[in-house]
Amino acid sequence: MTVTLFTTNYVPGYKIDKVLGLVYGITVRSRGLGGNILAGLRTLAGGEIVEYTEMAHQARQQALDRLAKQAESLGANAVISVMFDSTEIGNTMDEIIAFGTAVIISPTGDQRQLVQLA
């Protein structure tokens, strides 16, 4: 079963049949010494630090993947109100968490608002 993630509190064209509860995905990331040195050199020139941008993207995607996996294990077909939070641990690591509410949804009779779930 595929779990679809939504940042909204509801899904137009669908009704919530059952709320299964809070689900989350978490990851803690640290850039290696080589990446920190390269990123440090990039700060001298200014602009985007590509190494950190890529690390942040990967961390958020991994947190979302883990969130969806936990929701699927509960029998959910969707997660609503998905959000991110992050915390710096020491000066070298970042904790990224994605969280939301696992639900079971089904289409309503209103086909005009029907959202096609993947």
pLDDT band at 96 (very low <50, low <70, confident <90, very high): very high
Neighbours of 113 (CB within 10 A): 11
Domain boundaries, the chain: 4-113
Task: Note the pLDDT tens digit of each residue in 59-85.
Answer: 999 999 999 999 999 999 999 999 999
Q: Has residue 34 got a pLDDT over 70?
A: no
Please provide the average confidence, as pLDDT, over all residues in the chain.
Answer: 85
- Within the chain, residue ranges assigned H as helices are 33-45, 50-73
Selected residue with higher pLDDT from 73 and 110: 73
CATH topology of domain 4-113: Translation Initiation Factor IF3 (3.30.110)
The confidence score (pLDDT) of residue 29 equals: 84
